[in-house]
Amino acid sequence: MDMHALTRELQQKNITKIVMLVADGLGGLPLSPGGKTELETAQTPNLDALAVRGVQGLSIPVKPGIAPGSGPGHLGLFGYDPLQYQIGRGALEATGIGFQLQTGDVAIRCNFCTLDEAGNIVDRRAGRISSEESAPIACSLRQITIPGVEIFVEPVKEHRFVVVFRGQGLGGNVKDTDPQATGVPPLQPIAADSASLRTAQVAKEFLTQAGKILHDQKNANFHTMRGFAARPNLPSYQEVYGLKAAAIAVYPMYKGLASLVGMDIVGNATTLDEQLQVLKQKWNDYDFFFIHFKYTDSTGEDGNFLEKVRRIEELDACLPQLTSLKPDVLIVTGDHSTPSYLKSHSWHPVPTLLVSDCCRPDPHQTFGETTAITGGLGQFEAQYLMLLALSNAGRMGKYGA
Amino acid sequence: MDMHALTRELQQKNITKIVMLVADGLGGLPLSPGGKTELETAQTPNLDALAVRGVQGLSIPVKPGIAPGSGPGHLGLFGYDPLQYQIGRGALEATGIGFQLQTGDVAIRCNFCTLDEAGNIVDRRAGRISSEESAPIACSLRQITIPGVEIFVEPVKEHRFVVVFRGQGLGGNVKDTDPQATGVPPLQPIAADSASLRTAQVAKEFLTQAGKILHDQKNANFHTMRGFAARPNLPSYQEVYGLKAAAIAVYPMYKGLASLVGMDIVGNATTLDEQLQVLKQKWNDYDFFFIHFKYTDSTGEDGNFLEKVRRIEELDACLPQLTSLKPDVLIVTGDHSTPSYLKSHSWHPVPTLLVSDCCRPDPHQTFGETTAITGGLGQFEAQYLMLLALSNAGRMGKYGA
């Protein structure tokens, strides 16, 4: 059974506030057996104080053994079955820069690249040209016209930009043209299903025209297309949970994800401190706040154990600003683990802490991967976390008579 | 969503080796509350050393409270949802003696029995006649012909043999003819669904002809038919996991199970020591090794607590031969519990240990049912174990962008 069929039926109005603080890639690994993880190494007096009042456990992002990308990782936390709902990278990126995708749009991540005279890729990122240099070149592609298709071109950062095709009969299933190698030419866009044949044709025509427009550029004399994706059809937080929800994030991808489930993107914070100021400003306007903290993931991906520890301590130090608002339900979790030992997203379940006046506290006095094993939440699939949030917030009635 | 849809998509090549050591019926019970289980009673210094480096938990073979047979028990461990995929006993037995079942075949386990003059069963196993005596009698049934059906008769051991029907429109759902009692006649083969009506007819004709052929035998003057089963349609390890897999087992049933999922049956070992020699010989030829140890189950079924303890110690003593090969992922588990207290397969979750350089070790220093309760793997359905194996072996990419 779809959990949203339940929450649609059981949701109740209340004035309670829920905060979900997502430390991206929070879970980690010790560097050697018997050692401590990043979270266990960090000095986290505020998290530990919350652990005393709260209940912890391990969140399985998708299924045991599955390492998720950011999309499925967040969908799970937001309560959307990540195996049922899938978001393509292009759709994520477009939404993340504030582009309002419509149903039927196909979004594509594009990278400027450098071709040699033979047409082979010399640099897959066009020398990582600056955003200042790249943006006008991307905008020059807006002159491209293809009959029957509305085309949007939006600069992102450095060598990256987004293209969106809007029109009838455009499927999102087209293969990347980036060969992931240099010394070879870009690939042709090839449809991976019959519903996407026209998209592939449109993309091919776009690339042909782009090649002519970009021909005389020094570095950015061509571009690749990756992550073709139609807009996913996700029901909104308002509809499935009855929550007016706000997202306070720094990075485009997480803003994009939140907006796909109907959260408002609020503020323009660039630091955690600023994010918490936005939280304070918007406190009376929303029922639910998603706060995204990126650096526990990026330091993990860098393989920088000590820097990840430091970022966790930074997060901990900001918590009093959050708890002073007295959220009725506070959740601290991650969308997946990013152990610095692996330098990548991993499948390990994520330490998760829930605090409310009616959670059933477990005996733990600290918060970490090892204590979470025997925490009161047990091991659970992330997609159930929102049910716990709603119930702890007095926002869900009982099921059945 | 079918997990194999995921593993097909996410599987990655690697040179890592995975070993799954299945101690059949490993889980047990204390003889009285407060006591220790068989595994906890056994002296297992090698398993305990692995517990320090590894992570343990409890594997639920099918669902909580379900005691599985060997078929679903192993299917779960192999990553095939045991409620979706079902293997009939006849199909298992046929495959286990090396018979290559084809799609559409129906295999049947047959037992010679002794009838009295009134046609009632006097001995359900025909005095457990020797294999030497029984084999030629079984082969005499090869003269049976039924229009439109190809018939195979293969001796097994003692009073047992296998019959396979090959032809069009043969369903596998026919009821046993063994009444499980003496003093009554064998039952008629009755179809349990309409797709199996013809199979029941064929079986009836087979029994009629067999009755005439066997009429003058002293003990084996008739036979029963049990475990009618069509060949299950299981995708292969190579396809769903990208693993070249070998099975090192002693008993036919486990060889049969492994071959149904596309494992090669290697070696001709008759002892655990020989199995580990085969492992060493074949080490470079395969990615995945399934090693089956029968005696933890058979001693449990005998209700012999101390003998099961001894067999666990025998297993433990052999482990250095295995670990010296340095598998990237080593899993020690069971297909189900067989507590000597119950003298049967049971539903209790099975202590399971996973060791890899990127598992997240839990604090346990020993391996047993009680420690596994608070192990880092938690309680999980066996069908997810292969996902964990693949991820720990660096053989699975991340899901979604």
Residue A285 to chain B, least CA–CA distance (Å): 31
Give the B window 48-77 contacts with A, CB below 8 Å.
Answer: 52-53
Q: Taking CB atoms and an 8 Å limit, are B1 and A89 in contact across chains?
A: no
Q: Pick the residue of A24, A348, A350 with the most B CBs within 10 A to test the interface with B by mutation.
A: A348
Q: What is the pLDDT of residue B272?
A: 97
The closest of B22, B58, B25, B23 to B344, measured between CA atoms, is B25
Q: Taking CB atoms and an 8 Å limit, are B391 and A86 in contact across chains?
A: no
Residue B31 to chain A, least CA–CA distance (Å): 27
Q: Does B342 touch chain A (CB under 8 A)?
A: no
Q: Taking CB atoms and an 8 Å limit, are B401 and A63 in contact across chains?
A: no
Q: Judging by beta carbons within 10 Å of its beta carbon (0-12, 13-18, 19+), is residue B379 exposed, middle or buried?
A: middle
Give CA–CA dist B118/A164, Å, rounded.
Answer: 83
Residue B396 to chain A, least CA–CA distance (Å): 8
Q: Taking CB atoms and an 8 Å limit, are B401 and A87 in contact across chains?
A: yes
Residue A130 to chain B, least CA–CA distance (Å): 25
Hey, which bits of B258-328 come out as E strands? 264-265, 288-293
CB pairs under 8 A between A and B: 93
Q: What is the pLDDT of residue B103?
A: 86
Contact B191, B200 (CB under 8 A): yes
Q: What is the pLDDT of residue B12?
A: 97
Q: What is the pLDDT of residue B100?
A: 81
Residues 6 or more apart whose Cβ sits within 8 Å of residue B161? B110, B112, B134, B138, B141, B153, B154, B155, B223
Residues 6 or more apart whose Cβ sits within 8 Å of residue B381? B59, B60, B62, B63, B76
Contact A106, A214 (CB under 8 A): no
Give CA–CA dist B67/B349, Å, rounded.
Answer: 9
Which one is predicted more confidently, B240 or B95? B240
Q: Given B53, B379, B398, which is nearest A69 (Cβ)? A: B398
Contact B319, B47 (CB under 8 A): yes
Question: Residues B167-182: pLDDT tens digits?
Answer: 999 999 999 999 999 9
Name the closest residue on chain B to residue A68, using Cα atoms: B399
Q: Taking CB atoms and an 8 Å limit, are B398 and A344 in contact across chains?
A: yes
Q: Taking CB atoms and an 8 Å limit, are A67 and B378 in contact across chains?
A: no
Name the closest residue on chain A to residue B376, using Cα atoms: A373
Q: Given B53, B362, B380, which is nearest A373 (Cβ)? A: B362
Contact B367, B333 (CB under 8 A): no
Q: Given B363, B378, B400, which is nearest A58 (Cβ)? A: B378
| Confidence check: pLDDT of B98 > 80 | no
Q: Does A343 touch chain B (CB under 8 A)?
A: no
Cβ of B361: how many Cβ atoms within 10 Å? 23
Q: Does B363 touch chain A (CB under 8 A)?
A: yes
- pLDDT bucket at B89, cuts 50 / 70 / 90: confident
Q: B357 vs A342, B12, B290, B354, B374, CA distance in Å?
A: 10, 18, 20, 10, 20
**What residues in B contact A82, CB-CB < 8 Å?**
399-400
Average confidence (pLDDT) over B348-365 = 98
Give CA–CA dist A153/B70, Å, rounded.
Answer: 59
Cβ of B309: how many Cβ atoms within 10 Å? 23
> What does the DSSP assignment read for A159-192?
TEEEEEEESTT--S-B-----SSSSSPPPPP-BS
Q: Does A373 touch chain B (CB under 8 A)?
A: yes
Give CA–CA dist A274/A270, Å, rounded.
Answer: 6
User: Of the given ranges (A95-104, A154-163, B14-23, B351-360), which has the lowest mean pLDDT?
Assistant: A95-104
- Please tell me what DSSP assigns to residue A352: E
Contact B230, B101 (CB under 8 A): no
Query: CA triplet A223, A227, A231: central angle to 5 degrees?
Result: 125
Name the closest residue on chain A to residue B375, using Cα atoms: A373
Token readout for A223 is: 């571009």
Residue B195 to chain A, least CA–CA distance (Å): 31
Q: Taking CB atoms and an 8 Å limit, are B401 and A342 in contact across chains?
A: no
Q: Taking CB atoms and an 8 Å limit, are B387 and A65 in contact across chains?
A: yes
Q: Taking CB atoms and an 8 Å limit, are A67 and B380 in contact across chains?
A: no
**What residues in B contact A345, CB-CB < 8 Å?**
398
Give the A window 138-197 contacts with B, CB below 8 Å.
Answer: none
pLDDT in tens, chain A (401 residues): 789 999 999 999 999 999 999 999 999 999 998 899 999 999 999 999 999 999 999 999 999 999 999 999 999 999 999 999 988 889 988 987 878 888 889 999 999 999 999 999 999 999 989 999 999 999 999 999 999 999 999 999 899 999 999 999 999 999 999 999 999 999 999 999 999 999 999 999 999 999 999 999 999 999 999 999 999 989 999 999 999 999 999 988 899 899 899 999 999 999 999 999 999 999 999 999 999 999 999 999 999 999 999 999 999 999 999 999 999 999 999 999 999 999 999 999 999 999 999 999 999 999 999 999 999 999 999 999 999 999 999 999 999 98
**What residues in B contact A29, CB-CB < 8 Å?**
358, 360
Average confidence (pLDDT) over B377-385 = 98
Q: If you average pLDDT over every residue of chain B, what do you get? A: 96
Q: Given A62, A66, A89, which is nearest B401 (Cβ)? A: A89
Q: Given A88, A227, A370, which is nearest B362 (Cβ)? A: A370
| Confidence check: pLDDT of B1 > 90 | no
Q: What is the pLDDT of residue B203?
A: 98
Contact A161, A126 (CB under 8 A): no
Name the closest residue on chain B to residue A379, using Cα atoms: B378
Residue A326 to chain B, least CA–CA distance (Å): 32
- pLDDT bucket at B88, cuts 50 / 70 / 90: confident
Name the closest residue on chain A to residue B381, using Cα atoms: A64
Q: Taking CB atoms and an 8 Å limit, are B387 and A70 in contact across chains?
A: no
- pLDDT bucket at B79, cuts 50 / 70 / 90: very high
Residue B62 to chain A, least CA–CA distance (Å): 15
Give CA–CA dist B258/B246, Å, rounded.
Answer: 8
| Confidence check: pLDDT of B230 > 90 | yes
Residue A251 to chain B, least CA–CA distance (Å): 15
Residue B245 to chain A, least CA–CA distance (Å): 20
Q: Does B18 touch chain A (CB under 8 A)?
A: no
Q: B123 vs B63, B71, B126, B180, B226, CA distance in Å?
A: 37, 28, 5, 10, 16
Q: Taking CB atoms and an 8 Å limit, are A67 and B375 in contact across chains?
A: no
